[in-house]
Amino acid sequence: MRRYKNLRPLVVLPILFSFLSACPGPRKNFPIIDAHVHIQSLREAPPLLGAMDRLGIEKTILLASPAATFDPRSGGFRDYEANNRAVLEIARRYPDRFLPFVTLDPQDPLKLEKFKQDLANGAQGLKLYSGHRIFHERSLDDPGMEEIYAFCESYKIPVIFHVNAGFFEEEFHAVLRKFPRMKVVCPHFCLSTIATDRFERLMENHPNLYTDLSFGPRKNLETALERFSRNPEKYRRLVLKYQDRILFGTDAVVTSQPGRGEEWLMELGRIYRSLLEEKDYDDIRYARGRRKGLYLPAQILRKIYYSNIYQFIAK
């Protein structure tokens, strides 16, 4: 199906980049791709682009979301179709900067048809929320979702699947066992920074499973930074072990609410970059004093910031 192969031009970029970076001389500034951002509407694109430019972020994956992502008072999995349209529209306006991933409601009998329509309209991947505790209505391996998993597997459509592995590990294993060629990111270290054996079990058993190093809302981010800082070696070992399947992400939720503009995005991006790049860093906003980072070598940063994502979305 040719129309789903519009990512092909992107595949040559990493080859070109590896050639350039193999040239002599240290290269400190890698292009960065942020694999995890939510955005409420087209209005918020300019501040996001401003922050991306200042942070060296070349492209961002926009994950369509239900209204609850932007306003916790809005319960249930609602209004996601409007946000699907919004991310597709933003990507149409700024095709060099954004990759739109749409979402769907697992309960919707027309979900596959609607998803195909979104792909025809420019969607480059799928975001699923059914492994989130508040959106978990049926088991992840419910037969009703198999048409979607099978379709993504057949057409190599990348899936970013929020799964709280602390609650739904077995169901998630069942999905990944049944659709082993489906490329899936379980973001936020598969929500397993506290139970790294669980994280390793998932990554070991499923070679097409990826993760990202974003940690969600501020409280979760603080907890994760604290945990990493207490024992950077433990997390560094895991990042090195799975260095080909880890993506950079900020999980920024960009809205027009006060305090969510370009400066906030800058701060968030800097925190995540510091976590990966620095031995220790000033954690002004999120905590007290200095924190220890992962201090990753340049060749690993290049994978996390740039080349792994191409592997993930490659057709």
- CB nearer to Zn ion: pick between 169 and 251: 251
Which residues, at least 6 apart from 233, have a Cβ–Cβ distance to it below 8 Å? none
**By CB under 5 A, what part of segment 246-305 binds Zn ion?**
251
Q: Which residue has the tokens 């603080």?
A: 222
Q: Compute the least distance from the CB of residue 56 to Zn ion, in Å.
A: 21
Q: Compute the least distance from the CB of residue 87 to Zn ion, in Å.
A: 13
Which residues, at least 6 apart from 237, have a Cβ–Cβ distance to it below 8 Å? none
- CB nearer to Zn ion: pick between 222 and 278: 222
Residue 34 sits in the site that holds Zn ion (CB under 5 A)? no
Site size for Zn ion, by CB under 5 A? 1
Q: Compute the least distance from the CB of residue 230 to Zn ion, in Å.
A: 24
- CB nearer to Zn ion: pick between 171 and 251: 251
- The values of phi and psi at residue 157, to 5°, are -95, 120
Q: Compute the least distance from the CB of residue 214 to Zn ion, in Å.
A: 7
Tokens of 24: 């002599």
Exposure b/e, 150-173, CB count within 10 A at least 16 = b: ebbbeeebbbbbbbbbeebbebbb
Q: Compute the least distance from the CB of residue 94 to Zn ion, in Å.
A: 20
**By CB under 5 A, what part of segment 236-255 binds Zn ion?**
251
Which residues, at least 6 apart from 45, have a Cβ–Cβ distance to it below 8 Å? 39, 90, 93, 94
Distance from C-alpha of 40 to C-alpha of 67, rounded to nearest angstrom: 9
Per-residue mark of binding to Zn ion, 199-238 (x: CB under 5 A)? ----------------------------------------
- CB nearer to Zn ion: pick between 153 and 251: 251
The CA-atom distances, in angstroms, between 250 and each of 139, 145, 305 are 28, 28, 12
- CB nearer to Zn ion: pick between 101 and 281: 101
Where are any strands of DSSP class E within 83-132?
98-103, 125-131
- CB nearer to Zn ion: pick between 44 and 251: 251
Q: Compute the least distance from the CB of residue 36 to Zn ion, in Å.
A: 6
Binding residues for Zn ion, rule: CB under 5 A, are 251
